[in-house]
Amino acid sequence: MATDRGRAHKGKQAMDLLICNASLPDGQQGIDIAIKEGKIAAIGTALQGSGLLAAQHIDVGGDLVTPPFVDAHFHMDATLSHGMPRVNASGTLLEGITLWGELKPLLTQEALVERALQYCDWAVARGLLAIRSHVDICDDRLLAVEALLHVRQQVAPYLDLQLVAFPQDGLLRSPNAFANLQRAIAMGVDVVGGIPHFERTMADGAESVRLLCEFAAQRGLQVDMHCDESDDPLSRHIETLAYHTQRLGMQGRVAGSHLTSMHSMDNYYVSKLLPLIREAGVAAIANPLINITLQGRHDSYPKRRGMTRVPEMMAAGIDVAFGHDCVMDPWYSLGSADMLEVAHMGLHVAQMTSQQAMRDCFAAVTTSPARILGLQGYGLAVGCYADLIVLDAADAVEAIRLRAARRLVIRRGKIISESAPVRSRLRLPGRPDEVSFRSVCAADNIG
């Protein structure tokens, strides 16, 4: 990758930055991207030779350039708290919720802010520049809400943080949850959350979906619920969520997160359910790393995978994104803000191994969650924000295969993070000095 700052010119057409010789996620190659005042001003072939002037040139040598990663489902109030006050011994969802309940009274706003900011640093370094985070509103102090509102403001210049008011202990099961949720929204939280499968009964779950959708509809807010996060084939809250979305005219503003029960549902019922979800314009957010580790825990063998029906929903025309959900918290002790790791796991769990399906997995951590979050100015078109990452990979499939290094992370036309490409020095007689793991043939667009 060659950069050149020595060609500053003056003139009407002068650009701030010209990225040359990029490959794009749709397979186009040899593309130049001109950036002016934080936005994409031109994109196409041979811009460099067209007389267009730029203060800085970066030749990326055919590397993949893409809009940034977007995480549609995360818990920033819990992240990086692994081991506090103890570790999750069973590794189950329910022990995780119990453990989070033990940790909540011990939280301080300072520590919450510090951990969230540290996570945002990791995110930026990984080219992850937009995150939808749920924030637990069941603690009457709303400490986490205050902390993450502060963080949202602090990181705004470099990361879009969207907050969901999340009644972790149940909207109807936890005494002040609905009042707290309304307080959180009044304080500036963006999206209405829910957890119908954790209410005391299926009927209470359905009632919580109705109450939350009506509340959101009255205020013109988006909805994103943890929905059917269980292996129970009879958990039906996604049907209720689609029903109220349709009834209230909220198409395109509602997402169901997890939807793991769908993995275990009867196939005939799913053949009716998917068109209902599509008709209601409800998006789906799977969380592959967490679903594959938390679901199927009551099974002996064979063990269910638990992740929702991702390729089937995509084929039905439903918007599907992959979320990270957890990083080093009571539910999951691994992770590093790497959405390529998330896509890699999603691809394997869903057996999405055709070339197109692998590109769909890349879209599930970029363009699809950007649509679900309603991000403005996201994309690779003239007028979009110049928010871009340069990956140490030739295409989207290689990016997933290598969890490729983010050589440059660009926000509004400015480089905000750089990483060295991964190379190893070999000490083997008769063999090359260096290996890069990059593909030797660029024939990844077959099929």
Distance CA(396)–CA(64), nearest Å, equals 7
Which residue number, 307 or 358, has a Cβ lying nearer to Zn ion? Answer: 307
Stretch that binds Zn ion, among 12-20, 171-179, 296-304, 321-329 (CB under 5 A): 321-329
- Please state, in angstroms and rounded to a whole number, the distance separating the CA atoms of residues 425 and 2: 22
CB of 73 to Zn ion, least distance (A): 6
Closest-CA residue to 389 (of 370, 371, 410): 410
Interacting span for Zn ion (CB under 5 A) from 19-27, 325-333, 336-344, 426-434? 325-333
What is the size of the binding site for Zn ion (CB under 5 A)?
1
Nearest CA-CA partner of 209 in 238, 180, 177 = 238
Provide the angle, in degrees to the nearest 10, between the axes of the packed helices 177-187 and 202-219: 20
Identity of the residue, 325 or 360, whose beta carbon is nearer to Zn ion in the bound complex: 325
* In the complex, least distance from residue 285 CB atom to Zn ion, rounded to whole angstroms: 9
319 vs 325, beta carbon nearer Zn ion: 325
Q: Stretches 245-253, 319-327, 331-339, 423-431: which one binds Zn ion (CB under 5 A)?
A: 319-327
**Least distance CB 287 / Zn ion (angstroms):** 7
Nearest CA among 370, 347, 367 for reference residue 357: 347
CB-CB contact of 296 with 303 (8 Å): yes
Instruction: Write out the binding residues for Zn ion, residues 129-148 only, by CB under 5 A.
Output: none
What is the Cα–Cα distance from 388 to 378, expressed in whole angstroms?
10
User: Does residue 312 carry a catalytic annotation?
Assistant: no
- Indicate the residue whose CB is closest to Zn ion: 325
Which helix (H) or strand (E) segment is 410 a member of? strand 406-411
Cβ distance to Zn ion smaller for residue 327 or 370: 327
Q: How far apart are CB 406 and Zn ion at their closest, in Å?
A: 25
β partners of residue 224:
255
Q: From the candidates 37, 199, 207, 229, which is the catalytic residue?
A: 229
Token duo for residue 444: 């990844």
**Residue 229 vs 360, nearer CB to Zn ion:** 229
Q: How many residues are present in the chain?
A: 447
Q: How far is the CB of 372 from Zn ion (least distance, A)?
A: 14
Instruction: Give the E-state strand segments of 89-245 in sequence order.
Output: 128-136, 160-166, 191-192, 222-227
Which residues from 70-109 bind Zn ion, rule CB under 5 A?
none
| 139/325 with CB nearer Zn ion | 325
CB of 381 to Zn ion, least distance (A): 32
DSSP state of 352: -
d(CA 243, CA 251): 11
Active site residues: 229
Task: List residues near Zn ion by CB under 5 A.
Answer: 325
